[in-house]
Amino acid sequence: MSRRGPLACATVMVGLVASGVWAQEKPKYGYKDTPMLPGGKWHVHDSDRPLPPVITPGTASTQDAPGSAPSDAVVLFDGKDLSHWKSDRGGEAKWDIRDGALVIHPGAGAILSRDEFGDCQLHLEFASPVPPKGADQGRGNSGVMFFGRYEIQVLDCYDNKTYADGHAAAIYGQHPPLVNASRKPGEWQTYDILFTAPRFKDDGTVETPAHATILHNGVAVQNHAELLGPMAFRALPKYRKHGPAGPILLQDHGNPVRFRNIWVRPLNHG
Ligand code: MG
């Protein structure tokens, strides 16, 4: 490289700054003279691209106390009341609140969030009954169902044999978790779930299936797993067209599983 190139360039830059042209046209950050990204809307490092909204992250839970939700989350249960829930049989949710935990009232039926969600991040914590009672699918069984139908299994899987696709953090009947990361009964466990809703064509067929990524106690156990359809017991699942949002359902399977710190963040990318 000759020494004239950089020197000439520097001379031009000094001239631009001195004339004020550079100061006027150079954005504070980012660029406008870079290649266009696919979609034709934004340049690489585009200075006009909207900045991510600022939020305050939540705090992590301990075994002794629940953490807090991020500031932009819809809090479905914070230990106080059931105002964000209703019964799947109509009317108020009939589950119990004890020591800041939401406890399944066996026989009361499932509960549904009053708010509806499409693509979302869900955080919840659960603790299996202690001392443990029952075995197989009868031990600490519940479930969280997106759109009231796509079930992520909740089960006491600590020293409890059951079929693979019925494990805790399984997409029930479809995908076993990659590992069994269960804690002991009575200990608080976390689910962090990224759920992508299915999209349907006008004729009712599936355009894109649902997907789920799940961390169980901080361990990745489902990585963008494709759902074959809604929860089905001893049967193949089959999609049925629905709208872009639906309720979160917590299942009553007859076992007094406890929940706490439940929040959801809708994920709407423009
Ligand atoms: Mg279940």
For the chain, domains (ranges, CATH) are 1-51 (no CATH), 58-266 (2.60.120.560)
> What is the Å distance from ligand 1's center to 10 Cα?
68
The residues placing their C-beta within 5 Å of ligand 1, an ion, are 141, 143, 153, 251
Q: What is the 3-state secondary structure (H, E, C) of the chain?
A: CCCHHHHHHHHHHHHHHHHCHHHHHCCCCCECCCCECCCCCCECCECCCCCCCCCCCCCCCCCCCCCCCCCCCEEEECCCCCCCEEECCCCECCCEEECCEEECCCCCCCEEEEEEECCEEEEEEEECCCCCCCCHHHCCCEEEEECCCEEEEECCCCCCCCCHHHCCCCECCCECCCCCCCCCCCCCEEEEEEEECCEECCCCCEEECCEEEEEECCEEEEEEEECCCCCCCCCCCCCCCCCCCEEEEECCCCCCCEEEEEEEEECCCC
Percent of the chain whose pLDDT exceeds 70: 89
Alpha carbon of 67 to ligand 1 centroid (Å): 25
> If you average pLDDT over residues 159-178, what whole number do you get?
98
Distance (angstroms) between ligand 1 centre and the Cα of 15 equals 71
pLDDT in tens, 103-136: 999 999 999 999 999 999 999 999 999 999 999 9
Tell me the CA–centroid distance for residue 194 and ligand 1, in Å. 19
* Residue 25: predicted pLDDT: 61
Q: How far is the CA of 253 from the centre of ligand 1 (A)?
A: 6
pLDDT at 33: 96
Residue 222 reports pLDDT greater than 50: yes
Would the pLDDT of 9 be above 50? no
| pTM for the whole structure | 0.89
